């Protein structure tokens, strides 16, 4: 039942600071008992087998915490390297995936609703944002629990993020006695990188390499039509007048509730600036804890931004938890399994509170839809929900705006876009308020049920139409839509643009280090004993612009012996060599000798050991060898390149002892400084030099 009352005049002019009525006027309150809206499973009419995790990832399910893909210190892989590099959208055949079916287009869901005498149908993706707004009002924006995190986060915000608190809008589409809930995505970034990658990454996590590669655009064996048209696996549940649908991603028989959801979580700079994600491809997760570049930071952000939505989705799908893959759109860093119980602890305090909050939230959603559809029966509607809180944070309420959407609008996308800010027909505003009672006692603080006691959390609710001036309501509605556009639009940076430069600097630093490490691995591989390793390193060299540009300086006899005839012919053609392999070998030898001379800037005997090691490294020769060996291998490079070496002349003048000792001391310092295999402290280096000087005297 709805009671019509007027707003106070002092609030009539406001757009974004509207408050509920604070006078003593009696409202009409109705009660919802904790047992009134049980959520029950509905068996799927045509069950479909749910996928399993591949690549040994199932061990993550039973070991708490983050599991890194590659140990950052030792570079050892804990899982197959196949998972590390993410397939980019240009290389993945998304046409091979079954299209997503919205609630309004799911004829099977509608038929099930009629059989079960349900009035409303929806999916996890279409209803979660709206449920979140109702929960904010119901819980008075209860803060999240970050107590298990390190000290770095104990003083950080415990409020839900701005993006999650942004008003939610849904379309309620009427057809043959059933209302289907679709998300209003007017402001969403169309085909954003995270949405697109999420589809392909789910495949890589659940398929063996040979099967996954069939989804690539350059695959020789494509996915069959039967595979493309394979129906999705769904779970269903009923509560009140609702029939809800949830897509099932993964299954494991040893989990308590067996099925779980797959989530791909991008790092913070990419989430903040999705439109420019390529600026942050070097931002990496290298630490377990810390404010930045850590898995803990991503977990903290998930608590505030995603856990509430995840809790609704997991419950709707009767699931056990979520499997998270952390990434930066270019690489995967690690995996974590988070159970529903853990999510509940962070959001609600415990599972008992979470389960009751879910039922109350859905029941309030039903009451709101009942009033809207009663006012405009058998018509399609757009409904926008905006949870608000008083300045002293003592109470909350929910503003609900309803509009009648003409049927032809859904057939013409341009008409949808034209009403991004403007309302459709018959704009109406309602205000929803609730009271919570635990075991009959009115609660003024946040509700948290005792997990071992059978406490009863009942609520009272009031839904009343705002009969204020239409111009004021229209202004409030436009303000709501603008806030959605700001939060979800392609240029949104979540008010944190000051951080983006820092994130880009971090990304650039990692990319430089990664490039240096990659080059080192390639050059080390060129001198490998096995021909296959050398050939593989040469192939990697071709992928690095700077190395490929100077490929002749790395083309030693050893490398040429490892290359295939086709690659040798490519080099001959590229450099227009007339004498075949002999001519190519001569050209490469001359280039190598020329590069070496440029690095030495004099004779080999007069160059420091540091320079000799550096030159050997950049020519693909052995580095950690005695000086005599370094000199011999570099002399061989010069001789092969046609450089005539001068004979060593014996200086008949007696050497200056002081100069000799100074040179030897400097040589010793350079040798110690260039020993990359061990890290020697400054004190140890000085001791070593002193011992060398004392032994000489």
Q: CA-to-CA distance for 256 and 355, rounded, in angstroms?
A: 17
Say if 149 falls within a structural domain: yes
Q: CA-to-CA distance for 646 and 538, rounded, in angstroms?
A: 34
pLDDT beyond 60 at 561: yes
Handedness of CA 682, 688, 689, 690 (dihedral sign): positive
Q: CA-to-CA distance for 571 and 656, rounded, in angstroms?
A: 51
The token duo for 516 is 């240096």
pLDDT for residue 224: 87
Question: Considering only CA atoms, which of 296, 307, 295, 262 is closest in space to residue 58?
Answer: 262
pLDDT beyond 80 at 493: no
Running DSSP on this structure, what letter comes out for residue 70? B
**Where is mean pLDDT largest: 108-122, 545-559, 608-622, 676-690?**
108-122
Average pLDDT of the residues of the chain = 87
The token duo for 121 is 């149908």
pLDDT beyond 90 at 693: no
Q: CA-to-CA distance for 448 and 351, rounded, in angstroms?
A: 10
Place of tokens 């005997």: 605
Are both 538 and 671 inside the same structural domain? no
pLDDT for residue 287: 96
pLDDT classification of 487: cutoffs 50, 70, 90: confident
Say if 264 falls within a structural domain: yes
Q: Cα(first)–Cα(last) distance of the chain, in Å?
A: 104
Are both 175 and 213 inside the same structural domain? yes
Place of tokens 């869901």: 109
Segment 224-250, tens digit of pLDDT: 888 888 899 999 999 999 999 999 999
Say if 576 falls within a structural domain: yes
Residue range 187-200: mean pLDDT, rounded = 80
Q: CA-to-CA distance for 321 and 311, rounded, in angstroms?
A: 8
- Count the neighbouring beta carbons within 10 Å of the beta carbon of residue 342: 16
The token duo for 250 is 């993964």
Say if 27 falls within a structural domain: no
pLDDT for residue 16: 45
Q: CA-to-CA distance for 91 and 143, rounded, in angstroms?
A: 42
* Backbone phi, psi, residue 408, to 5°: -70, -15
pLDDT classification of 489: cutoffs 50, 70, 90: low
pLDDT for residue 22: 41
Are both 224 and 89 inside the same structural domain? yes
Contact 248, 317 (CB under 8 A): yes
**To the nearest 10°, the Cα dihedral for 199, 204, 207, 208?**
160
Domain count, the chain: 3
pLDDT for residue 445: 93
Segment 506-526, tens digit of pLDDT: 999 988 888 888 888 888 888
DSSP string, 111-139: HHHHHTT-SEEEEHHHHHHHHHHHHHHHH
pTM of the model: 0.80
Segment 281-331, tens digit of pLDDT: 999 999 999 999 999 999 999 999 999 999 999 999 999 999 999 999 999
pLDDT for residue 75: 86
Q: CA-to-CA distance for 696 and 689, rounded, in angstroms?
A: 11
Q: Write the burial class of residue 453 (CB in 10 Å: 0-12 exposed, 13-18 middle, 19+ buried).
A: exposed
pLDDT for residue 650: 36
pLDDT beyond 60 at 491: no
Are both 274 and 382 inside the same structural domain? yes
pLDDT for residue 619: 86
Beta-strand relationship, 396-404 and 381-389: antiparallel
Say if 252 falls within a structural domain: yes
In whole angstroms, what separates CA 73 from the centre of its chain? Answer: 23
Residue 226: which domain range?
A: 37-389+412-420
**Last residue in a domain, options 401, 420, 439:** 420
Are both 145 and 221 inside the same structural domain? yes
Say if 446 falls within a structural domain: no
Are both 619 and 640 inside the same structural domain? yes
Are both 382 and 250 inside the same structural domain? yes
Contact 168, 129 (CB under 8 A): yes
Handedness of CA 111, 116, 117, 121 (dihedral sign): negative
Please report, for residues 11, 466, 469, 601, 670, the alpha-carbon distance to residue 475 in angstroms, rounded to integers and kept in the order given.
13, 14, 10, 76, 73
Are both 629 and 674 inside the same structural domain? no
pLDDT classification of 421: cutoffs 50, 70, 90: confident
* HEC assignment per residue over 559-615: HHHHCCHHHHHHHHHHCCCCCHHHHHHHHHHHHHHHHHHHHHCCCCCCCCHHHHHHH
Are both 696 and 575 inside the same structural domain? no
Q: Write the burial class of residue 629 (CB in 10 Å: 0-12 exposed, 13-18 middle, 19+ buried).
A: middle
**Kind and range of the H or E element at 268?**
helix 268-272
Coil, helix or strand for 318?
coil
The token duo for 325 is 């893959």
Contact 145, 349 (CB under 8 A): yes
- Count the neighbouring beta carbons within 10 Å of the beta carbon of residue 642: 11
Contact 94, 233 (CB under 8 A): no
pLDDT for residue 363: 98
Segment 643-683, tens digit of pLDDT: 887 655 334 344 454 544 555 555 554 454 444 434 445 45
Are both 318 and 369 inside the same structural domain? yes
Are both 85 and 183 inside the same structural domain? yes
The token duo for 245 is 């649908």
Percent of the chain with pLDDT over 90: 61
Say if 321 falls within a structural domain: yes
Say if 589 falls within a structural domain: yes
Residue-wise over 379-411: b if at least 16 C-beta within 10 A, else e? bbbbbbbbbbbeeeeebbbbbbbbbbbeeebee
**Kind and range of the H or E element at 355?**
helix 351-375
pLDDT beyond 80 at 642: yes
Residue 22: CB partners within 8 Å, gap ≥ 6?
8
pLDDT classification of 414: cutoffs 50, 70, 90: low
Are both 76 and 210 inside the same structural domain? yes
pLDDT classification of 375: cutoffs 50, 70, 90: very high
pLDDT classification of 396: cutoffs 50, 70, 90: very high
pLDDT for residue 691: 57
Q: How many residues appear in the chain?
A: 697
């Amino acid at each position: 039942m709805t009671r019509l009352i007027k707003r106070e005049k002092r609030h009539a002019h406001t757009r974004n600071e509207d408050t509920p009525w604070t006078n003593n006027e009696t409202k009409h309150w109705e009660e919802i008992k904790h047992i009134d809206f049980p959520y029950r499973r509905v068996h799927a009419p045509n069950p479909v087998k749910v996928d399993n995790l591949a690549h040994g990832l199932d061990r993550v399910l039973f070991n708490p915490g983050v599991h890194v893909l590659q140990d950052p210190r030792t570079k050892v892989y804990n899982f197959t390297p196949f998972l590390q590099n993410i397939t980019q959208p240009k290389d993945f055949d998304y046409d091979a995936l079954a299209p997503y079916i919205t609630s309004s287009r799911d004829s099977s869901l509608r038929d099930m609703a009629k059989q079960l005498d349900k009035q409303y149908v929806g999916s996890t993706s279409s209803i979660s944002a709206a449920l979140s707004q109702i929960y904010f009002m119901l819980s008075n924006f209860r803060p999240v629990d970050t107590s298990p995190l390190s000290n770095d986060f104990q003083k950080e915000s415990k409020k839900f993020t701005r993006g999650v608190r942004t008003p939610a809008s849904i379309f309620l589409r009427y057809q043959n006695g059933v209302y289907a809930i679709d998300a209003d995505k007017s402001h969403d970034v169309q085909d954003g990188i995270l949405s697109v990658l999420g589809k392909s990454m789910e495949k890589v996590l659940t398929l063996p390499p040979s099967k996954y590669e069939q989804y690539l655009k350059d695959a020789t064996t494509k996915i069959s039509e039967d595979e493309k048209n394979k129906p999705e696996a769904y779970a269903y549940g009923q509560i009140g007048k609702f029939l809800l649908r949830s897509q099932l991603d993964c299954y494991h028989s040893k989990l308590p509730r067996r099925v779980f959801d797959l989530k791909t979580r991008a790092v913070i700079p990419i989430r903040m600036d999705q439109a420019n994600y390529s600026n942050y491809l070097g931002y990496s997760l290298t630490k377990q804890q810390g404010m930045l570049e850590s898995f803990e930071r991503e977990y903290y952000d998930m608590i505030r931004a995603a856990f509430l939505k995840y809790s609704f989705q997991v419950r709707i799908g009767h699931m056990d938890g979520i499997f998270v893959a952390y990434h930066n759109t270019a690489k995967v860093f690690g995996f974590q399994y988070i159970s529903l119980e853990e999510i509940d602890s962070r959001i609600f305090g415990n599972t008992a509170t979470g389960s009751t909050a879910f039922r109350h939230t859905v029941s309030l959603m039903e009451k709101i839809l009942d009033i809207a559809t009663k006012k405009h029966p058998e018509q399609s509607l757009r409904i926008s929900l905006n949870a608000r809180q008083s300045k002293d944070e003592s109470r909350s309420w929910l503003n609900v705006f309803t509009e009648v959407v003409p049927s032809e609008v859904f057939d013409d996308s341009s008409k949808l876009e034209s009403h991004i800010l403007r309302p459709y027909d018959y704009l109406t505003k309602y205000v929803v308020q609730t009271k919570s009672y635990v075991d009959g006692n009115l609660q003024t603080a946040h509700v948290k049920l005792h997990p071992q006691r059978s406490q009863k959390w009942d609520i009272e609710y009031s839904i009343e139409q705002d009969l204020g001036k239409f111009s004021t309501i229209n202004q409030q509605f436009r303000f709501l839509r603008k806030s959605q556009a700001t939060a979800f639009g392609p240029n949104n940076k979540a008010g944190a643009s000051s951080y983006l430069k820092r994130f880009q600097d971090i990304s650039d630093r990692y990319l430089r280090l990664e490039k240096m490490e990659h080059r080192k691995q390639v050059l080390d591989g060129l001198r490998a004993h096995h021909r296959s390793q050398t050939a593989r390193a040469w192939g990697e060299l071709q992928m690095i612009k700077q190395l490929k540009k100077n490929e002749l300086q790395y083309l030693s006899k050893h490398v040429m012996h490892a290359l295939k005839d086709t690659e040798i012919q490519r080099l001959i053609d590229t450099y227009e060599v007339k004498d075949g392999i002999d001519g190519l070998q001569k050209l490469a030898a001359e280039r190598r000798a020329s590069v070496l001379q440029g690095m030495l800037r004099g004779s080999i005997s007069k160059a420091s050991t540091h320079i000799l090691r550096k030159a050997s490294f950049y020519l693909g020769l052995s580095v950690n060898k005695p000086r005599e060996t370094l000199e011999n291998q570099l002399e061989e490079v010069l001789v092969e390149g046609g450089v005539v070496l001068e004979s060593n002349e014996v200086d008949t003048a007696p050497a200056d002892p002081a100069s000799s000792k100074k040179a030897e001391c400097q040589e010793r310092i350079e040798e110690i400084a260039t020993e990359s295999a061990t890290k020697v402290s400054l004190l140890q280096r000085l001791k070593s030099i002193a011992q060398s000087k004392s032994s000489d005297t």
